[in-house]
Structure 1
Amino acid sequence: MFGEALPIAEKYAALLAGDGVVRGLIGPREVPRLWERHLLNCAVLAELVPNDADVLDIGSGAGLPGIPLAIARPDLWVTLVEPMERRTTFLEEAVEQLGLTNVEVLQARAEGVSPKGKADVVTSRAVAPLGKLANWCLPLVRRGGEMLAIKGASAPAEIEKFLAEKPSRAKNRPEIVECGRDLLETPTTVIRLVK
């Protein structure tokens, strides 16, 4: 998945297992499954992102999925958007230590990101239910761009609730896509919504 960038991914895994745990960004129980559940789970999102895309990662937290995506795809420009200062501090340090020249960190809430309507892709993972997420993310996406939300088994129920809240949303129905089918024991479930 990471190819020649595997040493960078390994360094990021070490940061998450060390500083990430100490700072409360990753639970200690997550360390044994960092690769499968976090790094690879996020990196396979690269399958859905077009070449040379401008990506906003909303609610980036410890850098997931933005940092693995940026490591796997150096052609992307990834902006990690995170409102909490302690998390953005960790993200800035991680980006510097990893030598990622295709990543920037922005301390902001999704609603505060400007300019609107410029991103090719907006990603998120474990941020909010689909309805809230769409309200925050879709304004940031250019026409024809897409929102990619990593979800789990709740994806079908979230889509049904999303459509039930506003029946007009049915004309642009979100789809469920599985990434990493050939790479992961459990593929990553993504809700894709095209603007």
Structure 2
Amino acid sequence: MAAAARALFGDRLDLAAGYAELLATDGVVRGLIGPREAPRIWDRHLLNCAAVAERIPEGASVIDVGSGAGLPGLVLAIARPDLTVTLVEPLARRTSFLVETVERLGLARTVRVFRGRADEAASGETGVGPFSADVVTARAVAPLDRLAAWCLPLAVPGGRLVALKGASAADEIAEHAEVVAKLGGGEPSVHLCGTDVIDPATTVVEIVRERVVRPPAAKKAPKRSRGGRKRAR
């Protein structure tokens, strides 16, 4: 595991170790990481996420949806200082941890934290954004159909969703490929990351945003008469 960590983090291994320490202490105390996960932070979380960096182009912008404790977004920012990363997370206690961690690790130049949902980040309706990126990442957030609906609008045209998945990746593609196409995504593909470094390798599903699909216009509420009843049409 030590050799894998050196291969994936290089000269930023000490920074990764600092993040691992924060996850194992503050992360557990604040309920972001389960107590049983603390001994497995490196193999199950950090190395698993860092391996995904091989699927991200040099100098890319990244949005991590449902970032939680920063997985995989913060890990990618540590392993790849050439990336600019936006962490999207709706829960206050998680965003507080993310903001503090970014500051403590000295990552504020390349990492920003947005408190809100993916659709809010894409629309800019909160007054911040809208955001878009070359690559949108997500880990253990939702099934592929919902994930594509949330994440593809955040990818620039030609950009892609890189979703960390498990053994069910192929089954999810078979089940949700039609929905993905309707959302403007290309044919989903499965890739194994870190095959020569970690075991098991990290499984990801990639979807290119081939076209922009506008969300359907909201239906107008039916008009009501002065007495409060709906008017007959």
Q: Could you say which TM-score interval applies, normalised by the shorter chain?
A: over 0.9
CA distance in 2, matches of 1:54, 1:138: 14
Contact 2:185 2:208 in 1 (8 A): no
- Which residue of the other structure, out of 65, 70, 76, is the alignment partner of 1:69? 76
* Long gaps (5+) in structure 2: 1-7, 210-233
* CA-CA distance at 1:154 after TM superposition: 1.0
- Which residue of the other structure, out of 141, 146, 152, is the alignment partner of 1:127? 141
Deviates more, 1:109-118 or 1:127-136: 109-118
SS at match of 1:159: helix
Match of 1:28 in 2: 35
AA at the equivalent of 1:133: L
AA at the equivalent of 1:31: A
Q: Percent identity?
A: 56
Match of 1:41 in 2: 48
Match of 1:12 in 2: 19
Greater share of residues in helix: 1
SS at match of 1:183: coil
Contact 1:123 1:148 in 2 (8 A): yes
* CA-CA distance at 1:163 after TM superposition: 2.1
Contact 2:185 2:207 in 1 (8 A): no
Contact 1:116 1:141 in 2 (8 A): no
CA distance in 1, matches of 2:180, 2:14: 46
* CA-CA distance at 1:118 after TM superposition: 2.9
* CA-CA distance at 1:160 after TM superposition: 1.0
Match of 1:189 in 2: 203
Stretches (4+) displaced over 4 A: 164-171
Structure 1 residues 134 and 22 mapped into 2: Cα distance closer, same or farther (>3 Å)? same
Q: Report 1 or 2 for greater relative contact order, CA contacts < 8 Å, sequence distance ≥ 6.
A: 1
Q: Give the CA RMSD over aligned residues.
A: 1.7
Match of 2:118 in 1: 110
* CA-CA distance at 1:117 after TM superposition: 7.2
CA distance in 2, matches of 1:177, 1:92: 31
Deviations 1:114-153 (A, max 9, x none): 3557310000000011000000110111111100000001
Contact 2:164 2:205 in 1 (8 A): yes
